[in-house]
Amino acid sequence: MINIFKKLERDRHALFVILRKEISSKQVLDAMERVPREEFVPPEARGMAYLNIPLAIGSGQTISQPYMVAWMTEALGLRGDERALEVGTGSGYQAAILSLLLPRGRLYTVERDLGLFENARARLAQQGCHNVTAEMATDALGAPEYAPFDVILVTAACPRLPDSLVKQLAVGGRLVAPVGPRDEQDLILASRTGEGLSVSVMGKCRFVPLLGPEGFEES
Ligand code: SAH
């Protein structure tokens, strides 16, 4: 019988060899090392927790590939005191990473699926993420009641850059989001300046669809 702890340790080592090649932020790598991904996946997927792949978390949703989490997090360029928003809590894994990178800040994270939200909230509490406010998504996209945010991270594919999230971004703030059709998106980094929005494309990605206002039609 394969010893699951040995397998996880081996996979984890191999994963961090990859991450250290691609990600230059020491803070982001440290945060990735500190959050146990196996605690954020369903029991049957624990043995695969340190493979560099997305995994099913129920309700047709996925926890992103570790490399994608690290890449997006690095793009946010956090200093540690920001007011941040994540749209799409999912498993809570990305939120736990952001929590460690915001020692003097606060993360608001919203999820539209009740089952995922409840699981994620319990996990975040168990991991001691006291600077995270996890809430159910409302009829309005994002969390306008807590805006403006210094950074916004969207972890579901948006058909186009959502206007309402741009409005929730502070001047000087940064937004990272997958934008494009259902099958493949561009990972966008948008910065709000005094004059407007400056947008750059970081590369290609594949996310599950954003649903509800400014999202895709439910299929
Ligand atoms: N960041 C997550 C992965 C997110 S998967 C993690 O670390 O595990 C994308 C999530 O976005 C799904 O859970 C989906 O239910 C959620 N979602 C889709 N549309 C949404 C919306 N309009 N508001 C909030 N969450 C949404």
Ligand 1 contact via 116 beta carbon (within 6 Å):
yes
- Span 112-133, average pLDDT: 98
pLDDT for the residue numbered 3 = 87
Ligand 1 contact via 211 beta carbon (within 6 Å):
yes
* pLDDT value at 152 more than 60: yes
pLDDT for the residue numbered 4 = 87
Work out which ligand 1 atom sits closest to the CA atom of 209: 18
Show the beta-strand stretches assigned E in the chain: 55-58, 61-63, 83-87, 106-111, 132-136, 149-154, 169-179, 185-192, 197-205
Annotated catalytic sites, by residue? Answer: 64
From 176, 187, 208, 217, mutation site for ligand 1 pocket: most ligand atoms within 8 A of C-beta: 208
Give the rounded percent of residues in the chain with a pLDDT score beyond 90.
97
CB atoms within 10 A of CB 93: 28
Residue 41 Cα, ligand 1 centroid: separation in angstroms? 15
Instruction: Judge whether 157 and 208 are in contact, CB under 8 Å.
Output: yes
Average pLDDT, the chain: 97
CB atoms within 10 A of CB 96: 26
Ligand 1 contact via 82 beta carbon (within 6 Å):
no
What pLDDT, in 10s, does the model give residues 172-194? 999 999 999 999 999 999 999 99
Spatial separation of the C-alpha atoms in residues 115 and 117, rounded to whole Å: 5
Spatial separation of the C-alpha atoms in residues 10 and 14, rounded to whole Å: 6
* pLDDT value at 97 more than 60: yes
Dihedral angle sign, alpha carbons of residues 51, 45, 95, 124: negative
Q: What is the pTM of this model?
A: 0.97
Nearest to 103 by CA among 152, 12, 30, 50: 30
Residue 1 Cα, ligand 1 centroid: separation in angstroms? 36
